[in-house]
Amino acid sequence: ASVFEDIKAAPADVIFALTASYAADTYDKKVNLGVGAYRTEEGKPWVLPVVKKADHILVDDNNLDHEYLPILGQKAFREASAKLILGANSKALAEGRVGAAQCISGTGAVYTGAHFLSKHYPIKGAACYISKPTWANHRAIFEGVGIPVLEYPYWDPATKGLDLKGMLGAMQSAANGSIFLLHPCAHNPTGVDPTPDQWRQIADVMEAKGHFTFFDCAYQGFASGSLDKDAYSVRYFVERGFELFVAQSFSKNFGLYSERAGNLTVVAKTPEIKNRIESQIAKAQRAVISNPPAYGSRIVSTVLTNEKLYKEWEQNLSTMANRIIHMRKALFDELTRLQTPGKWNHIVDQIGMFSFTGLTTPQVKVLKEKYHVYLTDNGRISMAGLNSKNVKYFAQAVDYVVR
């Protein structure tokens, strides 16, 4: 008999399962709006031109080898990542109280921060509050390291916008010193972000209650097309003196999905505390991955530390952000033209890769079965999956299911 005779099968990951069903579908008009990966107008993955240039630079660099990186990763990458999110003029950076750890992309950065908090957060049993809804992995990661997970309201189905009152209320009634996981921009899955004034109100409560801020930043530059604009909330919190973590992913904004390039930026009160935090993260990282992979981080640091390539990257980002904004408009126009029942302005108001359409699970089922359109059951669509060839088809399908 097997040692594992009694093992139970785990459910498949919803997003990856959706991609597999799409791939197995032979219908020629099939549409994949599931996975959060950028697609071109032709529906193809896009290797950013600036990434190709960095590739060539790396290939031609005779000094590169395949030695281990340090445990916390490549120094140039860590520094450039922290600078990217905090801004070159960040006071916290100048004061030497910003740490960084190269991680296995955004997922690894969230995990690394969560794992650190599970060991070292001073309030034992403190819960981590995640937005309702959020990226499914947030719950899995925090529960995985033994931190209790609770939710704060975020999405208001009535306005298809932010439930600020609910969010602030949950922050008020949470035990002092709770951990709050916040999306700095391009909230996944809703595409709804707080305004600067709303961020001020959120920061007021976070401060008054002594909550700990953990930003998960997977879409810097991808949301608005501007790296600075998308970093607004993080920089604002840092200016106000918060100690905080920021998990950064370079999957989307560099199109480096499989290279697993990510960083955990740590803003501490003093350089001394920052050093101690980094040392504990290094100790933990050693036991999990030993040291991070080099390639993706080399691409990123090559671009971030070269003025010309950086400018080109900004253009590549605009290309992606603008195509998505254009598709929002195209979808909205088409639904308006078809006089599809309901209000659809949220399609253009929401930001970033995703739109939370308001389509229900039964409607999503019909979309899949009748139209071969793949999206998650919560009605979230990846705007990047739309293009000028399939947007009309998708709008017609939506029109059919909502009538």
Interacting residue ranges for ligand PMP, rule: CB under 6 A: 36, 105-107, 135, 183, 188, 216, 218, 249, 251, 257, 262
d(Cα 235, Cα 85) in Å, to the nearest integer? Answer: 8
**What sections of 182-270 are H helices per DSSP?**
196-208, 227-230, 232-239, 251-254
* Burial of residue 196 (number of CB atoms within 10 Å: 0-12, 13-18, 19+): exposed
Smallest gap, in angstroms, from Cβ of residue 111 to ligand PMP?
9
Choosing from 83, 216, 274, 344, which is the catalytic residue?
A: 216
Smallest gap, in angstroms, from Cβ of residue 114 to ligand PMP?
12
Smallest gap, in angstroms, from Cβ of residue 376 to ligand PMP?
12
3-state SS class at 226? coil
Active site residue 46: no
Active site residue 252: yes
d(Cα 328, Cα 382) in Å, to the nearest integer? Answer: 10
Smallest gap, in angstroms, from Cβ of residue 387 to ligand PMP?
21
b (16+ CB within 10 A) / e for 91-112: ebbeeebbbbbbbbbbbbbbbb
Phi, psi of 139 (to 5 degrees): -60, -45
> Among residues 103 and 281, whose Cβ is nearest to ligand PMP?
103
Full 3-state SS string of 271-316: HHHHHHHHHHHHHHHHHHCCCCCCHHHHHHHHHHCCHHHHHHHHHH
Residues 211 and 244: beta-carbon distance below 8 Å: no
Active site residue 230: no
> Among residues 131 and 178, whose Cβ is nearest to ligand PMP?
131
Smallest gap, in angstroms, from Cβ of residue 182 to ligand PMP?
10
d(Cα 314, Cα 34) in Å, to the nearest integer? Answer: 26
Smallest gap, in angstroms, from Cβ of residue 369 to ligand PMP?
26
Choosing from 135, 155, 313, 344, which is the catalytic residue?
A: 135
Smallest gap, in angstroms, from Cβ of residue 65 to ligand PMP?
26
> Among residues 86 and 182, whose Cβ is nearest to ligand PMP?
182
Cα Rg of the chain (Å, integer):
21
Residues 216 and 106: beta-carbon distance below 8 Å: yes
> Among residues 340 and 376, whose Cβ is nearest to ligand PMP?
376
CA distances from 136 to 93, 133, 156, 243, 289 (A): 32, 8, 19, 25, 23
> Among residues 224 and 251, whose Cβ is nearest to ligand PMP?
251
b (16+ CB within 10 A) / e for 131-158: bbbbbbbbbebbeebebebbebbbbbee
> Among residues 106 and 292, whose Cβ is nearest to ligand PMP?
106
- Identify the DSSP state of 223: S
Those residues whose C-beta lies under 8 Å from the C-beta of residue 229, and which sit 6 or more positions away, are: 185, 223
Choosing from 53, 160, 252, 368, which is the catalytic residue?
A: 252
Torsional sign, CA 233, 236, 238, 243 = negative
> Among residues 382 and 387, whose Cβ is nearest to ligand PMP?
382
Active site residues: 135, 216, 252
